[in-house]
Each structure stands twice: as structure tokens, then as C-alpha cells.
Structure 1
Amino acid sequence: MKINLRFFASVRELLGTAQEVLVLEEGAVRLHTVGEVRNLLIARGGKWEYALAQGRALRMAHNQVMCDADTVIGEGDEVAFFPPVTGG
């Protein structure tokens, strides 16, 4: 399964990239979640581990809708990571 990853603001700056296509293994009934994608990226280590760390304030979106780690993803979906935004 292929999904599109998008990175915004400070996450993009830390990773040095704005987007990536990620290929995930799939089984007959295997479902993937946004949280699993985050963990796969963290497992890359280095800047990935730092930018996406579990204790870091980070927002996630699935197909341009805010979501949580348990959101199930499918073929061709978009998953985005970005810092929380404050306004004034």
C-alpha cells in the first residue's frame, strides 16, 4: 500500500523534506493507522526520531482532516504531520 506523507512548518525544516511516498506492507486483513506510520518514521532514528518523537507536541491529519493515532489509513491516503499552531 502506498500513502502520501506531508510535513509542515518546523517538522518540514527538521526533516529537510516536505513530502514523501511511503510503501507499507499489507497482509490479507492488515489495517494500518496514523500512529503506526508515525512509529515507523520514528524507527528511522536520527532527525526522524527527534522530529516525530512521541513526547513532542505534534498534530496529525488524515486526508486533510485532523485525526488521532488510531485513525485507519488506506491506499493512496495522505497523512500529514505538523506542530500545533497558535494564533493571536
Structure 2
Amino acid sequence: EDQHFEIPFNQGLFEKKDKLLKEAQKTLEATNADSDEKETLDRAFKFFKKALDAFLGKGAHDKIFGSRKQDVIEETDVLYFVIG
């Protein structure tokens, strides 16, 4: 969406990464235990929003995705791009 974000490469970045990795593991465990598809997707989208906002700054997720329909593949791709 033609947005520009900067990620400072410092100790804070590694702390955020470690914290989000632990949360991702918990989210995945909860997802595996839950058979409700809607709840699983809601949990995933909350994680994507939190992760992108943590790395790129508050509100970044909304700037990137705006009012578009939520798409797991698209949000996963963006998160992987940011992490890369």
C-alpha cells in the first residue's frame, strides 16, 4: 500500500522477536487445540496485527491492510517479509 516503515536493528528488535516467537507458539498450540474455525482465524488475525504493530509501530497493520477483507495468506506473507 505504498507505506514506508523503518525497523531499527538493535537489541529492542531481538527482544520483540523473542517475545513474539513465544506468543506465536502459544497461539499455535491454542489453534491446534481448538476445532472452531472462526475462533482459530480470529486468534491468527489478532496475532498478525499485534506482531506487525510491534515490529513496524502502532497502527502499521491498519495502514497496510486498511479496510481490505482479511486474508491469512496475505497477512502471513507480509509478516514473513517483515521478519526477513
Which has the higher relative contact order, 1 or 2, with Cα contacts under 8 A spaced 6 or more apart?
A: 1
The structure that is strand-richer by fraction is 1
State the TM-score, normalizing by the size of structure 2: 0.31
The structure that is helix-richer by fraction is 2
State the TM-score, normalizing by the size of structure 1: 0.30
Q: Which structure: larger Rg?
A: 2
